[in-house]
Structure 1
Amino acid sequence: MRVPFLLAVMMFVLWVDARSTVSAAAGNSFPVYDAMRANVAFWKTVYAKYPTSNGLIHDNRDLSIIYEVIDLEPRDRGGAEKRNTARVDGAKAKYKKILLSLAAGGVARTSEEKRVLALFGAKPSASRLRAAADAVRFQLCLKDHFAEGVVRSGAYLDEIKKIFRSYGLPEELAYLPHVESSFNYKAYSKSGAAGIWQFTRDTGKRFMTIDYTLDERRDPIRATHAAARFLKGNYERLGSWPLALTAYNHGTTGMVRAKNAMGNYENIFRKYEGSRFGFASRNFYSEFIAAVDVAKNYKKHFGNIKLDDPVSHYEVALSNYAPVKDLSRHFKVDLATLRELNPALRPPVFEGRKHVPKGYRLRLPGKKDPAVQVASAVPRDILVDQQKPSRFYRVRKGDTVGTVARRHGVKMEDLVAANDLDSRKMIVVGQNLRIPSREEKIVPLAKTAATGGPAELTARPLKIAMKGAKELPRRTASQAPPAAVAPAELTAGPLKVALKGAKAEGPPAVTASVPAEAVITPRTARQMADDEFPIIQASAVKKAISASKRVAETEEDGAANVASDPAAETVLAEETRQLERQATLALLPQGDLDSVAVNPRVVTGNLEVEVGSRKNGRAMTGTIKVEAGETIGHYAGWLKVPTGKILRANGLRSASSIKLGQQLKISFDKVAVEEFEQNRYEYHKEIEEDFFAVYKIEGARLYRIKAGDNIWKLCADEFDLPAWLVRKYNTAHDFNNLKLDDQLVIPVVSKVEEG
């Protein structure tokens, strides 16, 4: 009798313990564990108490410890970013110094030291204080931006909830975009995550169409269906919503690994130390819980704000391709309205470069009734049988803008405008110029902001700055590498200087990294808080990379210049010259110095196929070189073949084993070589157009490779830039074989101001 009694007591204790660690009614899908209460409270403070003019200095593991609320200047005020960065850095350094002093046994003498010490409870250990000194973090507050997101959510929130219910999922999931994008329908991250659900391209293609014409990630309704399917799959695989939601941030496979190691979400939250399970992943579920509470009770936090009215629309399916302007005229709906209702249609459609794709369901304003149904039939004379092709030309030595334009039968000024070339019409060997169609109305890139295209794209010289001589010590002859290093590569436009590169340890598949939204969002704020690679700030001494004079060819019609062969100059000599010019550079005006000439809006890289065998004049086989951002999956999709066929043809064991610049053999059984090249070009052009619609290049800085650096990890974690963009500025480097102390030119990127 004693054993059953003891068993009953133990079961009761376990039941009480479970009740004490989980604050949730029976059947609640989203439990709040005691271990995460402080985190939920922290994110409510971020979302609903302080605006973006404030930030929190806090402990990055125990979020109940907030050292200080600091004031920040408005971001649009001149020089504010520099001053805010200094203020944040100063506050973090201040608390780190206090904590290290206390950890070393120092007595808390000042009121400030006593206040900090009291945050840790009675008699904290020295190890705890030392750990806290390394865990001081800044978090931007978001009350005003969260409120703006609540207003925007009114347009589609009811429909989003309805979609989740149709999949048998909790409708609370409809509030997740507050965490991902603040319901910004135009959100786009530096790594290419798009739309309110912030799908990356690779994940998004599992559920949606994403190509040069159509990107359904940007459509809040189509993307919500994708999010519902993705989250449902996470839940079915992981068994709980805390795990399924964390997997939305950390990745499903990563969370399966964490669950196998720790058993349940609470243990993962408290103890898991996976290599990629950082602050964002650990806090993602807490952020969601806080966002749901704040959004549901928005009047309590933000007052009587008016939400956007729900969007009223109906859809018309297109049985074939159609020019958007003809559809606009037929349905008597202006292009701006069509664009607003159909955010999945990319800028090339509205600029006349592409037709609305076959099968697309065009959204039109209003509600569909029998009378509208008859009027919605699309006339046959509007429809066309084929999509407009994308034409490009890879610049070769000796080319000029004039000769390229004449060769393709287009006006020189149209070619210049289509590629955002500067007044000197400089083109560079290896650039892939877009060839506009003869009937296309060219819109200069700098003016396409009104249609959602790139804004502020007039090419400017690119300033290179360094923080000081201490970061770039001069090497003596004895320190120079024993072998000769590659010469600096000089290209035109006005000039690009690529220094030698660094060693990567077993680079993974050549894919773009996976964000920073078009507006400040919770995800953007997390990145801003953890930024350890700030934009170069003005200093007493401005340094810049100077380049040798180039020899250029100029056509009589003023068509273009093409860079000649690079000057024979070693990297060591270049570094030495930079340091020796320090005093001279300090006297130069604070305008543009000598420049790196990269036109970032023109796709670079060899996208052409080196044709092998032919049959009846048709290319049957060929070879290509892997470019940044490409995978075996991409090639298989463009060729319409299984990935296994490409792997076998190249003796590869897995799709993750390819490297940048690697030569691959491919065959053209199902598509022509021209179609493959076009798809490849459009893939790169799409990514770059999307990026420069939101971000602009302001300058550049130098980064010296350190022990343990890997270029792909650097791009994702240190630079917060896509690999393809870093590659543009460092084409002379072998990213697969970078060396210790090598230097990379890293572009400085900022967000294009909206409006």
Structure 2
Amino acid sequence: MGLLLSGRPARAWNPGGYPALSEIMLDSLNSAIRWLATCVLLVGLLQSSPASAFVEVRQHKMQCSAAFPCPWELQDRVNFWIDIYSRWDSQDAVLHDSVVPSRVYKVIEGRACGRKGNTAFIKDQKKRIAAELHTLAKKVDRKSPVNSAYQKHLLKLFPERSGADIRRAAGDIRCQSGNRDGFASALRRFGTYGPMVRRVLKNSGLHSDIQYLPFVESSYSPKAYSRVGAAGLWQIMPATGRTLGLELDATVDERLDPEAASWAAARYLKDARKTLTVAAQAKNNRVSHSELSPFVITSYNYGVNGMRRAIKKIGPDYMQVINQYRSRKFQVAVKNFYAGFLAARHVARNQKRFFGDIKPGRPLQYQTLILDRQVSIARVQSIFGLSEAELKVLNPALTRFVWHGWRFIPDGYKLRLPRRQDSWSNHVARLRMMPFETRQGGSVEYTVRTGDTACGIAAAFRADCRELIAINGLNRKAVIRVGQKLQVPAKGRSRSRVAQRGRYEIQPGDSACIVADHFGVDCDDLLAANGLHRGSVLQVGASLVIPGTIPTAPGGSYTVGQGDSACSIASRHGISCDALLAANGLAKSDLIFPGQTLTVPGVAAPGTSTDRASAQEPAQTLAYTVVGGDSACRIAARFQVPCRRLIADNALGKEALIRPGQSLTIMGVPASLARSYSSSAKVAKVAVASVEAKSSADAAWSKIAESVGDSSGSGLSGVSPLDRPIDLSVQTSAVDGRTLYRINVEPEETLGHYSDWLHLGGVTKIRELNGYDATQVLASGDALLLPVADRMQRDTFERRREEYHRVLVEEFKENFEVTGANEYKIQSGDSLWVLAREFELPIWVITRYNPELRSSPPRAGKSITIPRIRSRQG
């Protein structure tokens, strides 16, 4: 085939000068074969290595300025990001060197990084490239010839021809999706929001080139929401938002308001430049404004304190910092942030060259109405004749709590309406003439909407999730469907409390079945134990016997440590918080202190049985036939055995699914209880005299609980950890004649939040009470005293705190879904911040799946659960 491709065979002599027929036929045949061989070769190349595999990053002529310089050492990085933004689409995978981004090994069309179904393929491609690099490194070391086309391409990427560098690169292969289509869409949005951003920058005294930063942050989308919880056009984190003066509560998230967020970003950038100027001048007092610009831009991703530390260690030379600074947090995204900014600026300035004519979006035009009262979104739509979609475009800061009708738009909110000639004057007058809206007391009926969850709805209405599940007859996973009508119990109901062991004091609004569900017992069993029937009326303050509630085994105790809370201790021991509080005569609001000894119900002292049956009463093993309406835990409660043990003994799996007619083995049933059921057709005695608690059953349950993600005993084991309520109450205690109020700090909380929720007007009182200076940084799990004046102030604080965290959950769920979970063993040096960066998750998501991390730091060697998430936007 090589001969045919290189030329025709020598012709035979022909005295007439005309080609013989045989020669014509031979020429035709040779031409056909040459054409066919060429096609085969091309197809082979396409199959073995995509046509784009030998791509090199293009060289682009930059247009730099004194305000934002382009160091020549950064040129190759900038070229790479220009190609990402303008050359390859979001469906293309660019496999490149993470240390030297412009070193592109292969571009694979239609196989975007991180997309469902592509992971294994991309991983295989990385292995193949790594193998090629290792082979190439050996050849370079041995000075052997490099013959294959692909290895010649790879060798060109290493001009210094160092085998060691090539081997290092084999371990640093990274996948980056293109973004040409995304950047084109961003340019359209730039037309809508760019004028507003430029106005804010000008009024803030900042350079207009900063208008290109949102291309890198959010592709100019005010709806953007990152895996770690940053939101909006400027990708602001919740805690940072409060520091920059943005509102984030149940009704409003100003991070999603492009104008409010732009003012916040401008404030950050101005403050960052001041802070970094001081740090830089301490190292070199001749550093220029221009030299600091790369640090200021990079700090928007890495944080101003991180850049200050880098300057302090290396000095105010940006390229030296990029090449020499070492920190676990100073990785690929940080090192490429300024280069990405320069690339975005170049592409946006030259959009016609890269994209042709793109029709920009129309700038927003609106009028603002400052509300003088709270008002429902339904009333606004009715009076102004506007659809939800029209209002959402202009008011993106309003949360789903408002759009779903769970909360009113607050008074003082600047409501944006489409611009009109008459300024909506008649409509505004009509609004102000209408009576004030108030919430009705008692239970309400709610129609489920897309994205709702049972516990999310309960939290929105300030109701107990377990009660909502019980009165609506939901299953253990609390599954609901769009359009379903739910009864939401009245808000503010007191939490259930045990008056004494085995008894419960009835609270306002209780029903027998709600109480039964709370304690995990069958409603009919509770009624029978108290001589009641379905129509019986419960009297507030009366006492109910709870069947299956057994006194605490003697000797179980726990000594409170630093950072502990009552509920974190309960979670650690696999019991409910209510049970631990009741066993110690505590209320949810009571304060506990390091060194204090608590009784842990159900925890046996050394040498005692962990079975619930007493030592004097032999346990029995029964066979039970499941009937309609049964659940595993209700059956376990009925026979006074641990639910976890019943699940493990019958290998029911993490879902604990049972079906009518199924036979279950129930071990460890007290003899007297077994006798009372002996006449039932559903129960048969198994010939085993007694049963001891088995460690294998406990181990099996631990695995089940771990996979389900619930060890709290909350009664919501089938519900996602994101939806389970967490204890955010203020703890109190009387010390030296005065009442102390204490909380444990949660992720994304700041002193500013606490000041807002307590209406203090500043953080000074909190700092003084805790002995903090201005440099003190809060960490998740820290114990903090609060300057609370009265019960009303405390209640307001708790309500606003719970709503804040509920909004974080709801916004996250709107943008991401949990697809599973992996086990991870904590390494030395891991902190919550490091884990969040490593797995690209908000810290609060990690602590929801691992409640013990709410009160204590990660400990090396311990295994934790890391959820896998996927964007709902595809």
By the TM > 0.5 criterion, same fold?
yes
CA distance in structure 1 between the aligned counterparts of 2:862 and 2:824, rounded to whole angstroms: 8
**What pairs with 1:571-582 in structure 2 (closer than 5 Å)?**
574=699
Aligned to 1:702, what secondary structure does the other structure show?
A: strand
Partner of 1:599: 720
Is 2:624 the partner of 1:624? no
**Paired residue type of 1:699:** G
CA distance in structure 2 between the aligned counterparts of 1:202 and 1:390, rounded to whole angstroms: 35
Aligned to 2:259, what secondary structure does the other structure show?
A: helix
Q: Deviations over 1:470-529 (max 9, x none)?
A: xxxxxxxxxxxxxxxx9997799xxxxxxxxxxxxxxxxxxxxxxxxxxxxxxxxxxxxx
Partner of 2:841: 721
Partner of 2:634: 552
Is 2:309 the partner of 1:227? no
- Residue among 285, 297, 313 paired with 2:338: 285
Partner of 2:200: 163
* More RCO (CA 8 Å, sep 6+): 1
Q: Deviations over 1:123-164 (max 9, x none)?
A: 433443343333332221111111122222222222222222
1:383 to 1:338, Cα distance in 2 relative to 1, 3 A? farther
CA distance in structure 2 between the aligned counterparts of 1:415 and 1:108, rounded to whole angstroms: 74
Cα displacement (A) at 1:702? 1.6
Partner of 1:696: 817
Cα displacement (A) at 1:49? 0.6
1:571 to 1:700, Cα distance in 2 relative to 1, 3 A? farther
1:696 to 1:596, Cα distance in 2 relative to 1, 3 A? farther
- Residue among 180, 197, 200 paired with 2:234: 197
Q: Deviations over 1:236-284 (max 9, x none)?
A: 4443332221121121222233334322334434444455332222211
Partner of 2:251: 213
Cα displacement (A) at 1:371? 5.5
Partner of 1:465: none
1:169 to 1:576, Cα distance in 2 relative to 1, 3 A? closer
- Residue among 80, 83, 91 paired with 1:53: 91
1:308 to 1:129, Cα distance in 2 relative to 1, 3 A? same
CA RMSD of the aligned region, Å? 4.6
**What pairs with 1:299-698 in structure 2 (closer than 5 Å)?**
299-367=352-420, 369=421, 372-373=424-425, 375-377=427-429, 379-382=431-434, 384=436, 415-416=468-469, 422-424=474-476, 436=488, 551-552=633-634, 574=699, 597-612=718-733, 621-641=740-760, 643=763, 645-646=765-766, 649=769, 663-669=783-789, 672-698=793-819
CA distance in structure 2 between the aligned counterparts of 1:577 and 1:219, rounded to whole angstroms: 45
Cα displacement (A) at 1:28? 3.3
1:251 to 1:74, Cα distance in 2 relative to 1, 3 A? closer
Is 2:267 the partner of 1:147? no
**Paired residue type of 1:55:** A
Contact 1:47 1:143 in 2 (8 A): yes
- Residue among 309, 312, 320 paired with 1:257: 309
CA distance in structure 2 between the aligned counterparts of 1:409 and 1:281, rounded to whole angstroms: 41
**Paired residue type of 1:116:** L
Cα displacement (A) at 1:668? 1.4
**Paired residue type of 2:157:** L
Contact 1:57 1:92 in 2 (8 A): no
Cα displacement (A) at 1:638? 2.3
| TM-score scaled by length of structure 1 | 0.67
CA distance in structure 1 between the aligned counterparts of 2:145 and 2:184, rounded to whole angstroms: 41
Identity %: 28
Cα displacement (A) at 1:101? 3.1
- Structure 2: state its 5+ residue gaps: 1-60, 278-288, 445-453, 480-485, 492-569, 577-630, 649-692, 705-715
Cα displacement (A) at 1:343? 0.2
**Paired residue type of 1:361:** K
CA distance in structure 2 between the aligned counterparts of 1:577 and 1:613, rounded to whole angstroms: 38
CA distance in structure 2 between the aligned counterparts of 1:660 and 1:171, rounded to whole angstroms: 38
Partner of 2:611: none
Aligned to 1:363, what secondary structure does the other structure show?
A: strand
CA distance in structure 1 between the aligned counterparts of 2:464 and 2:798, rounded to whole angstroms: 24
**What pairs with 1:110-121 in structure 2 (closer than 5 Å)?**
110-111=147-148, 112-121=150-159
CA distance in structure 2 between the aligned counterparts of 1:648 and 1:35, rounded to whole angstroms: 49
Contact 1:61 1:135 in 2 (8 A): yes
- Structure 1: state its 5+ residue gaps: 1-21, 393-400, 428-433, 440-485, 493-548, 557-561, 580-594
1:625 to 1:221, Cα distance in 2 relative to 1, 3 A? closer
1:409 to 1:673, Cα distance in 2 relative to 1, 3 A? closer
Cα displacement (A) at 1:51? 1.0
1:306 to 1:687, Cα distance in 2 relative to 1, 3 A? same
Cα displacement (A) at 1:33? 1.6
CA distance in structure 1 between the aligned counterparts of 2:730 and 2:855, rounded to whole angstroms: 22
Cα displacement (A) at 1:680? 1.5
Contact 1:390 1:678 in 2 (8 A): no
Aligned to 2:93, what secondary structure does the other structure show?
A: strand
* The structure with more radius of gyration: 2
Aligned to 1:604, what secondary structure does the other structure show?
A: coil
CA distance in structure 2 between the aligned counterparts of 1:656 and 1:387, rounded to whole angstroms: 41
Q: Deviations over 1:716-735 (max 9, x none)?
A: 23322223222233336786
1:425 to 1:254, Cα distance in 2 relative to 1, 3 A? closer
Cα displacement (A) at 1:699? 1.4
- Report the more deviating stretch, 250-259 or 656-665: 656-665
Contact 2:137 2:166 in 1 (8 A): yes
